[in-house]
Amino acid sequence: MPRSIILPPLSLYIHIPWCAQKCPYCDFNSHAQKGAIPEAEYIRHLLQDLDNDLSYVQNRTLHSIFIGGGTPSLFSAEGIAHLLQQVEQRIAFADGIEITLEANPGTAEAARFIGYRQAGVNRISMGIQSFEQEKLQRLGRIHNVEEAVQAIQFAKNSGLNSFNIDLMHGLPNQTVEQALNDLRQGIALNPPHLSWYQLTIEPNTLFYYRPPKLPDDDALWDIFEQGHQLLTEAGYQQYETSAYAKPGYQCRHNLNYWRFGDYLAIGCGAHGKISFPNGEILRYAKTKHPKGYLQGNYLHTQSAVSVAERPFEFFMNRFRLLEPVAKQDFVQLTGLDLACVAENIEWAKQQRYLVETDRTWQITEHGKLFLNELLARFLD
């Protein structure tokens, strides 16, 4: 049996599943908008869903909220304001809570940024993806380059604490120089946070069934190596595999995921994780399709995280971060003793995947290249 667990910070993820149209690379739980979105009805169900999960709060305050999708910026500022007010009536907000909303850089959504700020949102995350029109069209994005730049200016002028732009590389027929030029344009706009990730082909996407021609491995390595240098020289710190931020602007919500924190989850297909002082850890997922969810069928699956699964789950998250892993975190958040991973830690050190001090483990540059092999050891 695991020992007792120290409850970690608590976050809330809210999923809004509708998009203007489905992108060919996207495997998220999103549905193309057909007619009017049932905004008020969906918000009512979100709050009922949250009411069912309030026992998971266990006297904690909310550390962060992330409203993701889909495209949450299809919802009105008034709807988001009502939603956040009702959440706060149910769960106290921690001082300095981070509240992020994902947004399209299209003109209609960007014009709402000040309204979202007044509603309580203090961080916007925008899916820019590229500053090259041909690439945006190939990715199925509905905004153009001018709208992307304009949306970033809106974000700068709307009184937000921070904002993020998503850029992708390794796009269909993309050269190394095109990828780096996208990144240079992103850096020139000076966002506090920049997520820069490689396009991967996921099952059940249009790109999976009709694969585009992507850059080869040598080109991808050149893009990453040179791009990382550009970001570092511009003052961005890489703190996670594909996340860069100016000092002090790391995404607190995502850090809580990767540090094996707890998160409530409401909305179609949302995934949650909750710890209990008695040593139990629960994972759950909500009903994916809006039709079932809007009938009040919220919970889809839930299961306990077994003792055998916990080392893998913990390290799968923590080794995404570049910060050292406190051994005390492993003990307090999994309820396990260090002895249960000692043999695999020793193996990882011999492989030069990890270095160890009295208090911490740290993944090495070499270890990052063999992360899957490293994590596989903790599946045993």
- Once rounded to an integer, what is the mean pLDDT over residues 160-175? 95
Q: What is the mean pLDDT of residues 286-298?
A: 96
The per-residue b/e assignment along 28-47, b for 16 or more CB within 10 angstroms, e otherwise, is: ebbbebeeebebeebbebbb
Residue 83 above 90 pLDDT?
Answer: yes
* pLDDT for residue 1: 64
Residue 207: pLDDT band (50, 70, 90) is: confident
Segment 312-341 shows an average pLDDT of 96
CA 243 → CA 84, 166, 196, distances in Å?
A: 26, 9, 6
Token reading at 360: 């911490």
Look at residue 262 in the predicted model and tell me its pLDDT: 98
Q: At residue 84, what are phi and psi to the nearest 5 degrees? A: -70, -40
pLDDT digits (tens, 9 = 90+) for 121-133: 999 999 999 999 9
Q: Where does the pLDDT of residue 138 fall: very low under 50, low under 70, confident under 90, or very high at 90 and above?
A: confident
Q: Please give the pLDDT value at position 26.
A: 63
Q: What percent of the chain has pLDDT over 90?
A: 83
pLDDT by residue (tens digit) across 9-55? 999 999 999 987 767 666 677 777 777 899 999 999 999 999 999 99
Strands (E), 208-298: 237-240, 243-245, 262-267, 271-275, 281-286
Question: Region 302-323: what's the mean pLDDT?
Answer: 95
Task: Check: CB of residue 77 under 8 Å from CB of residue 47.
Answer: no
Question: For 26-34, which contacts have Cβ atoms below 8 Å and span 24 or more sequence positions?
Answer: 26/205, 27/202, 27/203, 27/204, 27/205, 28/69, 28/70, 29/70, 29/268, 29/269, 29/288, 30/69, 30/70, 30/71, 31/70, 31/289, 31/290, 33/74
Q: Is the pLDDT of residue 315 over 90?
A: yes
If you average pLDDT over residues 340-365, what whole number do you get?
96
User: What was the pLDDT predicted at 205?
Assistant: 73
* Percent of the chain topping pLDDT 70: 98
How buried is 172 (Cβ within 10 angstroms: 0-12 exposed, 13-18 middle, 19+ buried)?
Answer: middle
What are the structural domains of the chain?
A: 10-256 (3.20.20.70), 307-380 (1.10.10.10)
Interatomic CA distance for residues 105 and 166, integer angstroms: 11
What span, in angstroms and rounded, lies between the C-alpha atoms of 244 and 251?
A: 10
Is the confidence at residue 264, as pLDDT, over 70? yes
203-217, 235-249, 269-283, 331-345: least confidently modelled range: 203-217
Determine how β-strand 10-16 pairs with β-strand 162-169.
unpaired
Q: What is the mean pLDDT of the chain?
A: 93
Residue 258: which pLDDT band, with cuts at 50, 70 and 90? very high
Query: What are the tokens at 17?
Result: 């599943």
Residue 204 pLDDT level (bands cut at 50, 70, 90):
confident
Closest CA to 311 of 340, 283, 282: 340
Query: Any idea which of 70-74, 179-183, 235-239, 247-251 has the lowest mean pLDDT?
Result: 70-74
